Chain A
């Protein structure tokens, strides 16, 4: 018989397998991004909290009894009797009565699944892992260099103002302990430690998203929600690439105006649609506030495409003008699946061949993610010229 202790500090099996489990969680999330991207509790959150993502593929299936239809044994405190309720199942809304048909077995709402916790930022990193910003190079010269000072090192000599008290005390304790008296006293110049700094150059870069949306009578809650999910991720993505990202919200029906974020997503208007009004306002704002020399500009427009027919040609002209000043121009048409043919606006846009132009059609929530991917797939690689 013996009592021993060994050094276990290099033993890492548990954490290695834990790492593999984490990888599998990430894989599972990636596979389900289409569903997760337009999850309401993420889009409506402040973007800071941890969110829970259900993952069914990591369930450990086995042959087991149906707990909901099985008797279990328990122990009371002396006074239990038949009919006592010992627990309630809040998640089970529909109530699984005994003796239902076999088809319902195990598919009750209370079915367990594994939930992974992940922050919105981690999720954004997963979504944009292999995406990049198209047409970035022309803005390189617009980056502003900023000098900053960072305290990064500890040295023995330095000005008293930069004395690092914590390290000085630690050195003093060490020296005293080495002499057999582990206490803090008798500071000598050998004990002193100073912080030193180095200067680094940081590249400031700016981006502005010009979010345009049709708020005419034909745009309902569904259309607005889709636009909102899209902008939510888009802004998050641009923040990973630029130090300063601003958003301008423009809503339009037959005329356009700049609005607050809240108004943008919540106020509905009625009336017809004249898309060119929004593009004109966007050009004006760019001219006044965001010189293309200093700003990376990302105009995006969401509409259901029901534009006044005589306005379409004007729109194409304005989009071409916008593309001369901006990194990319995105047009998203939100049409629920029962509309089969593209709108007249979309047909007009189909004539544009510039690779800065991207148009997508979104028919349901699951298509937000593919749309994001389409907008941000790196088009940096040279497109072969037509012979």
Chain B
């Protein structure tokens, strides 16, 4: 009996080792949205807390599993067994297994509460504050104007921040509930209509990081992404200065034709804004003032190349199903008004010129 018990237990150890192997193959920091590859203090504090609780949980799991399997294997019924002793309880033992878990939970609760407060309160409330607004299905980012305090700089889907600096982000929503999440920099906070939240973030390495809406927000929720571009302070300030300028007036005839279309028959202007243009003042769609300078389009879904842009304008559904542009814009809803090949080329030229 004892021998059998040991044999099975060694098997059990192998199973446990396999499980641990699995756990560690699960941690794959190289992936775009892995929570194990932290690049900022908020995400790091969350990961440290995770490990702390994880090992406590592993301890409990191993203890309980050993107790469970040992009991089941040792006390298996053999034919002819008499009734076992009818034990109804053991008060001291029961008190013990009420108190011990409580202690383990206190060990977990204390760092939890500390981290909650650390992450809730911005260490530098007066630092750069950006407004982030969720729309179905893209993100709008509004920066304070670098020179004129009463003006704003509006961009979409790419959040530029300076490295090693605290940045405060006010989170709002235009329509339904969204959630703002950059796994490698900070855990998520929801964007709730009529309920402004704030989050502080800090990145300690330059580069491009993935962000995504994490709250189900409708049909294109899966493709509501954004990027965080962490730059040196100089790069960031230069970028912001450029973004604060009005949209460029290109002399390229094709781009001019595109602009006329944009501000005319194609009616893009009803929803999109281009600073500097008298006509394009719409605010329901993303601000396109410096569209050409962005790395991605369709809310972080594909790279911003001329080919992709052409595809996007021609058939948004092929890239992202359910967009409001495709649902509402007359160039898609009215077959008589749909864009010709050359019109698409003109629009691509115009938008690409806006850098």
- Is the A/B pair a real complex? no
State the A residues within 8 Å of B (CB).
Answer: none
State the B residues within 8 Å of A (CB).
Answer: none
